[in-house]
Structure 1
Amino acid sequence: MRKWLKALNSLDQYISNHHKGNEKRTLREKQLTVFEDLRNYLEAGGSEGYVKLPTGFGKTVLFTEFLEALNLSTVIVVPTQILVEQTEEKVSQFAPASEVGKIYARAKEFGRQVTIITYDSFIDGVENETIKPKDVDLLILDEVHQALSPRRSQTIQQFSRSIKLGFTATPEYSEEKKVQNILPHEIHRMDIREAVEDGLLSPFSAIIAHTDVDLSKVKIISSGEYDERDLAKAVNIERRNQSAVQLYQQAFQNESTVAFCVGVNHAAEMARLFNEANISAVAISGQTPSNEQKRILGEYAKGNIKVLCNADLLITGFDQPKASACFNLRPTRSRVIAEQRAGRVLRLDDNNPDKFAYIVDFLDVKYNKKKPPVLFADIAGAATIVHKKKAAKTGVQLERRGWEYKDLAQLHIQGLQITVNTEEVLRIVAQLQQEMEEEQRFLPFNELQEQVRAAGIQGKDEYIEVYKQHFGWPSNPNTTYKENWKDWHEFLGKEKIFLLPFAELQEQVRAAGIQSERQYREVYKQHFGWPSSPDSFDRDNWKSWYEFLGKEDKFLSFTELQEQVRAAGIQGKGEYIKVYKQHFGWPSSPTYFYKENWPGWDEFLGKNK
């Protein structure tokens, strides 16, 4: 207990120092907000949560500052060797006092305070007991959407006494695979629009390059993605590849570009064509030796290589602010891939404060209308997003500045038609969705329910395994029939698992003396009718863990606190954090505890803005 209290105090001290400006500020204000939410989550007893932040937000710096402040035994798990190296660089830069060890195929540095390891090596280490869950206080899961396989999930579950924090831009990998399956609590969420408008990511335009290629006969595999071999045959063809090179020549000359290709051969062919056109390009993939990968990325950072042609190696973890254009030569049906790869070019560049990013989706003329490709404009909910402050200062339509000076719509490239108008891009996105819905032919809800019950389906997992064998059964009946849907128990005609009414549950929990969320999760299975996640099972009655556990009386009402704080002459958030422990009934984070009443720090303190 003393260790955890000390860790919380360290987080408070970090926040206080930031607001007082005692040290050089590493985190931007929005990053500090996430830092504070993480701190509040731990204080409330949370131990299994995730943060959704858009790619390029700076989550590695964020969790590095967090682990340094906590000063606990930490394991950071990342997907690739490239990310092991990049994460070590960040930890060494921002937490130089931390002793860091790397574990992957080429390095075995055990026994350090901070261990950075790939997911594959992490599983091996736990299985051969070189990594023992009891020795790990803090487990950070970077790109946590890649931890959802059964083997990885089971390994993570062994760390029942560790604080487990996940970071990702894409927590909903699919309807069946979600980060909440392993880390039930969302601590903070930020979408792309918010991050760009607040100046945390580069402004961008999403552009559509229409090709004359036919994808309609490309097989779609069980995961819902295109079969890679079929897709490569369809798109790795001379005229389509050449059109991409010509587009770069005519509109993106000298832009540092990442081209996402279909497999190693396609990446190699694209690099060859770019180089033949006197554009420096290199193919990079998982088959490229790690030393060579490092050299290539270094040359790209220097500007000596203009186009990286890659076979999905750089979808996650590629951290190069210079990258400003993304050529999506590989169509995808995955919303995760569509968001992750565009994020490679949205990172802010300190050396180029006027950076404007471009995401070019190559949309082939024919495709399976039941299962169309995913475009980035659909993910972002907009074709162009700009910084709010910069737009307000200049008083001009910055959303037009990005692409109009390139005059892309006037280009003449054989086999390629460019759409840049924001309204037209969004019309195409809506058209794809409408076509898909019109092509779907599902049974009426009552008829589906009757067939499912007659088939003796026992659960959601069984339904997902067999629905493709039945005409008219949708993959996700809960979303297809939103108006009719209640829950899986009712749909399958099964009796619900008994759970106590909320008031009775709360009474039993308080009587049992449960002191925190962590303690509740350790013991709930021992009690009949206790749900695993009381904060989500009855949202109408849920307020907070403080209130649920009967701890709310320890704190003043919002009005009482505000009166005392103003009477004490507190001048700022940093001063409040420094002194709140000296006052009975003052919470450490009033923004969190009084969410519904919170008016902002200036109003709370009685100061004029």
Structure 2
Amino acid sequence: MQTTTEQPTTEPAALDSLLASARRAEAWAKEPFLWEGEDPVVSLAPGTSRRRALDEALGEITGGHRQPSAQWRTRFGLMLGLERVLSEDLPRLASGTELRRHQVDALAGMLTELIAANEESSGPNGNGNGEDVAELEEEDEEEPGEEDDELEAGYVGEDPGAVRRFRFRHPTASGKTIAAAGFVEAAGSLGVLILTHRRLLVSQFTRDLTAEGYGDRLVPVVERGRTPPSASPLTIQTYAWFARHAGDIERSAYQLVICDEAHTALGEKTSAAIRSFPEPLYIGMTATEQLIAKQVSDVFPASVDDLPLADAARRGLIAPLRCLRVPPAAAISSVPIVGGDFEERALAAALDHQALNQAAASLYRDRFDTTPGIVYAAGVEHAYNLAQEFRAVGLKAEAVSGKTPPLRLAETLAAYERGEINVLINAMLLAEGWNSPRATVCMHLAPTASRRVYQQRIGRIMRIHPRKEAGIVLDFTPKSATHNERVVSLHSLLDSDFYREGARVTPAP
């Protein structure tokens, strides 16, 4: 027996009224409710997310709101903005930069979650009573770039903002900053707060977002009681600042918080600050799901996209990686592992000797010569001692650390980009966030027992550059080392069994 599918019908007068309401709401919300070629009867059918956005917009307009409330923008603004961006055949930023497939996937995953949330329930999101959480007690400001090392115990209290916190995982060097800019583009009618873990990265985000066409939205933090300079302010700050001042932010100013390197937001103070500011949507970006015993999902429960490193390599999104193994000259079997990695002082005591430093410098010169690279040392003093020996063998090398004055650091990194310096030596300052496509060699003079740290380190050489055929990882580990060793290697990270000197370890595009 044949069956028929009934199509919704609408009287012409009712259809005209619906179209007029959509146009009125679009002018008010600064986001379209209908797209060319769409059937309004279908797209704005009762119960759909867009119809709910329209109905609540008309309710606010009738109630005298000249612009959308913070609650309406949080619930519907990003959803409509994502639909706007993704409606294009080739989604672009304000500058014209095209989003790549995996970046589009992150935006599309977020849109799917927001549509589902708005169609499942007509009430506001939240799993608590929605009351303001008490402000954080004032604490001493952390040094810029320091992680909140004190991990919170399993959180068991009310968390009204948990349903508005999402995450996506893309490998280092695959373009998470451009993905973040995609969310900024979609949040054209929202206030956006971007959090990152180093002052250096605040400057980098500012520079990159300005280059992508969003510089006119950049403003300092909107403090409590102040009126935002526009409906869509864009502010960039550190987690350390946020952990101290979350209670001082004007809560109606920001509807979207983007958390860069979200695994660094899992510490007790930072995660408590996030929970104390539950009203906005949160998007956590990370290359790793874990920080020691904590998972990114503990703070950012819902995943909207996940791109494994091997898949990124197959797609040609990152530079291929080759590996060289050098038998270690120093024994570190007695160095304890504390908090998931080798204890820094004990590791430095084992490695920071003039003869070893000279041997490392000669090895780099003989194998790589002027090839640009980055060297990881066992602490600040070790980094400066290594730099001295590298320069002694004729290499253009400099050491940087958290103690390097900001102006000096900026000048050194700029000199590296210009080719006036070829080797940067550091302990952990440049393990996350810093970008330099010309960096080709990653030398692990200080081994690590942390898969997270290792992955962040090699991410510095995974950016594609016209003159770089592949990134080269130098592991100080026996050539016959297995995945059970305490020291992480490129092969153990990627679960690759067979080592061949200089061979590609990541999959071919």
For normalisation by structure 1, the TM-score amounts to 0.58
Correspondence 1:181-260 to 2 at 5 A? 181-221=298-338, 223-260=339-376
Asked if 1:9 corresponds to 2:127, the answer is: no
- The residue identity in structure 2 corresponding to 1:162 is P
Q: Distance in 1 between matches of 2:382 and 2:92?
A: 51
Corresponding position of 2:399: 283
Number of the residue aligned with 2:237: 117
Partner secondary structure for residue 19 of structure 1: coil
**How far does the alpha carbon of each residue in 1:350-401 deviate from its partner, in whole angstroms, 9 at most, with x for none?**
x43x53101111227999x9971111221123389xxxxxxxxxxxxxxxxx
For the 8 Å contact 2:325–2:478, the answer to whether it is kept is no
One of 295, 298, 306 as aligned partner of 2:411: 295
1:19 aligns with 2:86: no
TM-aligned CA deviation for residue 6 of structure 1: 4.4
Greater share of residues in helix: 1
Structure 2 counterpart of 1:398: none
Letter matched to residue 209 of structure 2: V
Structure 1 outlier segments of 4+, above 6 Å = 20-23, 364-367
Counterparts in 2 of 1:22 and 1:251: CA distance versus 1, 3 Å: closer
Distance 1:7 1:147, change over 3 A: closer
User: For each residue in 1:521-547, what CA deviation from the matched residue of structure 2 results, as whole angstroms up to 9, or x when unmatched?
Assistant: xxxxxxxxxxxxxxxxxxxxxxxxxxx
Separation of aligned partners in 2, 1:383 and 1:27: 35
Check the 8 A contact 1:126/1:132 in 2, yes or no.
no
Shift of 1:102: 5.3
- Correspondence for 1:391: none
Deviation at 1:203, TM superposition (A): 0.8
Q: 1:170 aligns with which of 288, 312, 318?
A: 288
Identify the match of residue 41 of structure 1 among 97, 100, 113: 113
Which secondary structure state, in structure 1, belongs to the residue aligned with residue 446 of structure 2? coil
Asked if structure 2 preserves the Cα contact closer than 8 Å seen for 1:205 and 1:383, the reply is no
Change beyond 3 A, Cα 1:373–1:187: same
> CA separation of 1:294/1:97 partners in 2, compared to 1, >3 Å: closer, same or farther?
closer
Q: Which residue does 1:136 correspond to in 2?
A: 254
Q: Is the 8 A contact 1:84 1:102 kept in 2?
A: no
Aligned to 1:313, the other structure's residue is in SS state: coil
Instruction: Tell whether 2:380 aligns with 1:268.
Output: no
**Alignment partners' CA distance in 2, 1:6 and 1:224:** 41
Unaligned runs of 5+ in 2: 1-52, 58-72, 118-162, 222-227
1:70 to 187, 205, 225: 187
Alpha-carbon distance in 2 for matches of 1:383, 1:280: 36
RMSD over aligned Cα, in angstroms? 2.8
Q: Secondary structure at the match of 2:174?
A: coil
Q: Is 1:145–1:168's contact at 8 Å kept on the other side of the alignment? A: yes
Deviation at 1:166, TM superposition (A): 0.2
SS class of match (2:87): helix
Give 1:134 deviation, angstroms: 4.1
Q: Is 2:437 the partner of 1:330?
A: no
Residue in 1 that maps onto 2:471: 357
1:155 — aligned with what? Answer: 273
The reply to whether residue 342 of structure 1 matches residue 458 of structure 2 is yes
Contact 1:75 1:136 in 2 (8 A): yes
Which of 95, 103, 109 is 2:213 aligned to?
Answer: 95
CA shift, 1:43, in A, is 2.0
CA distance in 1, matches of 2:168, 2:183: 13
Match of 2:493 among 371, 376, 379: 379
Indicate if the aligned counterparts of 1:64 and 1:95 stay in contact, CA closer than 8 A: no
AA aligned opposite 1:420 = E
Contact preservation (8 Å) 2:91, 2:99: no
Give TM-score scaled by structure 2 length. Answer: 0.69
Secondary structure (helix, strand or coil) at the match of 2:329 reads strand
What percentage of residue pairs aligned between the two structures are identical? Answer: 27
Alignment CA distance shift 1:211-1:100 (3 Å): same
User: CA deviation digits over 1:471-498, x for unaligned, max 9?
Assistant: xxxxxxxxxxxxxxxxxxxxxxxxxxxx
Q: Is the 8 A contact 1:213 1:366 kept in 2?
A: no
Alignment of 1:411-490 (within 5 A): 420=501
CA separation in 2, counterparts of 1:371 and 1:326? 20
Q: Secondary structure at the match of 1:320?
A: coil
Is residue 207–residue 383 contact of structure 1 (8 Å, CA) maintained in 2?
A: no
- Number of corresponding residues: 380
Query: Structure 2 vs 1, CA of residues 20 and 170 (structure 1 numbering), >3 Å: closer, same or farther?
Result: closer
1: CA distance, partners of 2:335 / 2:376: 18
Assess, with a 3 A threshold, how the Cα gap between structure 1 residues 119 and 21 changes in structure 2: closer, same or farther. Answer: closer
Classify 1:20/1:339 alpha carbon distance in 2 versus 1 (closer, same or farther; 3 Å).
Answer: closer
Separation (CA, whole Å) in 2 of partners of 1:320 and 1:116? 21
> Aligned ranges for residues 581-592 of structure 1 at < 5 Å?
none
Match of 2:48 in 1: none
Do the aligned residues in 2 keep the contact of 1:208 with 1:363 (CA within 8 Å)? Answer: yes
Answer whether contact 2:93 2:185 (CA < 8 A) is retained.
Answer: no
Query: Is 2:92–2:98's contact at 8 Å kept on the other side of the alignment?
Result: no
1:28 to 100, 103, 106: 100
Determine if the alignment matches structure 1 residue 145 to structure 2 residue 260. no
Q: 2:437 aligns to what?
A: 321
What do residues 156-185 of structure 1 show as CA deviations (whole Å, max 9, x unaligned)?
0122221011001011223x3111111111
The residue that corresponds to 1:522 in the other structure is none
